[in-house]
A = this chain, B = another copy of it.
Amino acid sequence: MAETTYAKGLEGVIAAESEVCQIDGARGKLYYRGYSIEDLAEHASFEETTFLLLYEKLPTKDELDDFSQRMRAARGLAEPIQSMIRQFPPAGSPMELLQSVISYLSSSVEHQIRHSTTCNCRDTLHQIAQLPTVLAAYHRFREGKSYVEPRSDLSVGANFLYMLRGEEPTPEEGRIMDICLTLHAEHGFNASTFTARVVASTYSTCYCSISAAIGALAGALHGGANERVMDMVEEIGSKDMVDAWLDKALGERRKVMGMGHRVYKAKDPRSIVMEKMLTDLSKQRGDASLYEMLKQIEKGFRVRMEEKGKPIYPNVDFFSGAVYALLGIPRDLFTPIFAAARSPGWLAHILEQRKDNRIFRPKALYAGPEPRAYVPIEDR
């Protein structure tokens, strides 16, 4: 008899082996290729993290210099891309723009993958380097400002802020932005990474695979939680409104954004690093009101959940929106920044998929009408 049961959303179903990322949800630990996210956030740049994800080892000094130089050389936007950004409708989502640009860029390089199973995408690094640049240009153009040429003496995080603002950020700001990217660079299978692997399994290009993954991350069920945390903060208004808001929201069974995580039963390790950066930034700005309000939400939520016997901790999205806001980044760029940050992880999974590939082609369980006769249109 044919099988008729299945797991919706493939929940619990193993889709592939992977060496990229280990998540120990019970202990609240996250490792990229064996290295803890705390160590990487403290010691490694986003470029070093990208090298680790793509080459499966930490780089030597020479390797990192060469790699950073290549990534930085790939930052500038060609004229057709600038024109796509300029003409992009104001009501559009920058996620759609990113998705569109990345597949368009695929046409600008020769792809080995079309001729063999080998992929040369670690050579171009376009797919990673151009995402922050496109975002910065997008924001400037919509504000009526001009394109800022990238600088090759700045880290990925610092260069993004520089191109967005037209002014060099402080070293602390640059470092914080770079760590934010590192924290989001990889997180195992999820809908976007799985999408990247499914597309790559057909031997499509890395660009087209990453473009597809951006499409998945754009969905409301996937990216965007940190934007909604800031929406919530705005709705609450101030610290002293938090408790009344929580009582009302929980009474109405509304979801409190940025709390809990499907995988982490302990604290999300990225949220700890993110919170530290938020306190640093708040001190630098001499204004801790946003941080204090978030802590009030966290505390108030925990107390109310403990009454129900459910310890729930803030996840990485709970603090990241506030960090971006203090860095002067508009809210609708938060998810696109997530895409830029995740691109090394997607690329690592694409490369891994190709090493031992089988095209993804699951079965459907047919539940539609039995064969029926065609009725001529005049008899309908």
Query: Which A residues have a C-beta under 8 Å from some C-beta of B?
Result: 3-6, 8-22, 29, 31, 33-36, 39-40, 43-44, 48, 58-61, 64, 79-80, 83-84, 87-89, 91-93, 95-97, 99-101, 103-104, 106-108, 110, 113-114, 188-192, 194-195, 198-205, 207-209, 211-222, 262, 356, 358-378, 380
With A and B bound together, what is the CA distance between A10 and B159 in angstroms? 41
Closest chain-B Cβ to A302's Cβ sits at a distance in Å of 26
Residue of B nearest to A39 (CB): B374
User: Do A11 and B103 contact each other (CB < 8 Å), given the known contacts A218-B202, A374-B35?
Assistant: no
Q: Could you pull out 13 A-B pairs where Cβ atoms are within 8 angstroms?
A: A5-B14, A9-B201, A13-B363, A19-B367, A34-B370, A36-B374, A64-B377, A89-B108, A100-B104, A191-B201, A191-B361, A203-B221, A219-B359
Decide if B372 touches A35 in the complex (CB within 8 Å): yes
Chain B contacts for A13, CB-based, 8 A = 6, 10, 13, 362-363
With A and B bound together, what is the CA distance between A378 and B43 in angstroms? 12
Chain B contacts for A31, CB-based, 8 A = 371
Residue of B nearest to A98 (CB): B103
Decide if A97 touches B104 in the complex (CB within 8 Å): yes
Decide if B191 touches A203 in the complex (CB within 8 Å): no
Decide if B364 touches A15 in the complex (CB within 8 Å): yes
The oligomer's copy count stands at: 2
Q: Which 4 A-B pairs have the closest CB atoms?
A: A92-B107, A202-B219, A19-B368, A9-B358
Closest chain-B Cβ to A349's Cβ sits at a distance in Å of 9
Decide if B191 touches A219 in the complex (CB within 8 Å): no
Chain B contacts for A6, CB-based, 8 A = 13-17
Chain B contacts for A15, CB-based, 8 A = 6, 10, 362-364
Decide if A360 touches B194 in the complex (CB within 8 Å): yes
With A and B bound together, what is the CA distance between A11 and B13 in angstroms? 12
Chain B contacts for A369, CB-based, 8 A = 19, 33-34
Closest chain-B Cβ to A80's Cβ sits at a distance in Å of 4
With A and B bound together, what is the CA distance between A214 and B13 in angstroms? 25
With A and B bound together, what is the CA distance between A188 and B368 in angstroms? 12
Decide if A364 touches B34 in the complex (CB within 8 Å): no
Decide if B99 touches A107 in the complex (CB within 8 Å): no
Residue of B nearest to A263 (CB): B361
With A and B bound together, what is the CA distance between A99 and B96 in angstroms? 11
Most buried by B among A14, A194, A370, A380: A14
With A and B bound together, what is the CA distance between A218 and B202 in angstroms? 8
User: Do A88 and B104 contact each other (CB < 8 Å), given the known contacts A10-B15, A14-B6, A195-B199?
Assistant: yes
